[in-house]
Amino acid sequence: MASTYRFYRTPRLGDGLTRQTAFRSKLNDLGIVRADATQDFWSWPNRAMAVSLCLVWCEPVKHVTIAADPDISALSPELADIAAVNAWLDQPVGALPAAIRARLESDGFPLGWVNGATTRRQLWRKIAQQHVIMQRLFAGNDNAFNFFKRSLDETIASVPVAIRNRVSAWMVERGLDTSWITGATLVREVVEFVLAQVNLPKCRLHPELDF
């Protein structure tokens, strides 16, 4: 049976402190898919959120095994090849299943901006940009990184002052207006604003997939 592609949301395991406890997708530990001529998966190692978004290429029977894991959510149907993946991405999100929406929001991805006309690629682009921002902040040992670890429904007033001061300065450094933010503003509003304003280069999850 030919291998097919499918997107998944998996737990991100590890603390990153050693290579044995590296940040990784739960898929690495399951050992169902290892890179060879018939299977592989690509994942973003997210250091701020306990989630890993993955594109898996494997035989359908293995997709069944992966999807049966209670910690893993399938985010797409099985897609025959990269052309089909790209075609699927360019279609509207439509009615995002409530369980998927709730899961991604609890992971820290604000989805309030998504409407029926939003394409899946646009959704993945926002998620990719959020991921890239967090990667860069972590690499720069920037305390603004910790802002993206907060719950989306937390108010700015409840964010520790050192973190909110730093994220405010970080936004100003990028020319973003912060005058509208008050103590009652939600973290999700700030994250959505940042993602709407920044314009990062395209990000790749797979060598042939641009977001």
Partner 1 sequence: MADATDDFERASLGANWTVSLGAVTIVGSSDVRGNSAGADSLTRWNANTFNGDHYSEVVVTTGDDDGGGPAVRHQSGAVTCYAWMMPTTDIWTMYEITAGSYAVLGANYSIAGSTNTGTTARLSVTGSTLTPSIDGGAQATRTDASITGGGPGIGFFATTVSFESWLGGPIAAAAASLIFKSNPMQHLLVR
| Minimum CB distance to partner 1 smaller for 4 or for 28 | 28
Interacting span for partner 1 (CB under 8 A) from 42-50, 98-106, 149-157, 169-177: 42-50
Could you say whether residue 179 binds partner 1 (CB under 8 A)?
A: no
Near partner 1 by CB under 8 A: residue from 6, 26, 47, 125? 47
Near partner 1 by CB under 8 A: residue from 33, 75, 93, 194? 33
Interacting span for partner 1 (CB under 8 A) from 65-73, 116-124, 185-193, 200-208: 200-208
Could you say whether residue 206 binds partner 1 (CB under 8 A)?
A: yes
Could you say whether residue 25 binds partner 1 (CB under 8 A)?
A: yes
Cα 88 to Cα 151: distance, rounded to the nearest angstrom: 30
Find residue 53's DSSP bridge partners: 9
DSSP secondary structure string, 92-129? B--S--HHHHHHHHHHT---TT--TT-BHHHHHHHHHH
| Number of residues counted as binding partner 1 (CB under 8 A) | 37
Angle value at C-alpha 140, between 211 and 186, nearest 5 degrees: 65
Could you say whether residue 17 binds partner 1 (CB under 8 A)?
A: yes
Could you say whether residue 39 binds partner 1 (CB under 8 A)?
A: yes
What b-and-e string marks burial along 134-169, b requiring 16 or more CB atoms within 10 Å of the CB?
A: bbebbeeebbbbbbbebebeeebeebeeebbebbbe
Near partner 1 by CB under 8 A: residue from 1, 2, 19, 175? 19
Cα 88 to Cα 94: distance, rounded to the nearest angstrom: 12
Find all residues with CB under 8 Å of 155, minimum gap 6, and list them. Answer: 183, 184, 185, 186, 187
Q: Which of residues 101-160 bind partner 1 (CB under 8 A)?
A: 132, 135-136, 138-139, 141
Residues in contact with partner 1 by CB under 8 A are 14, 16-25, 27-28, 31, 33-36, 39-43, 45, 47, 132, 135-136, 138-139, 141, 201, 203-207
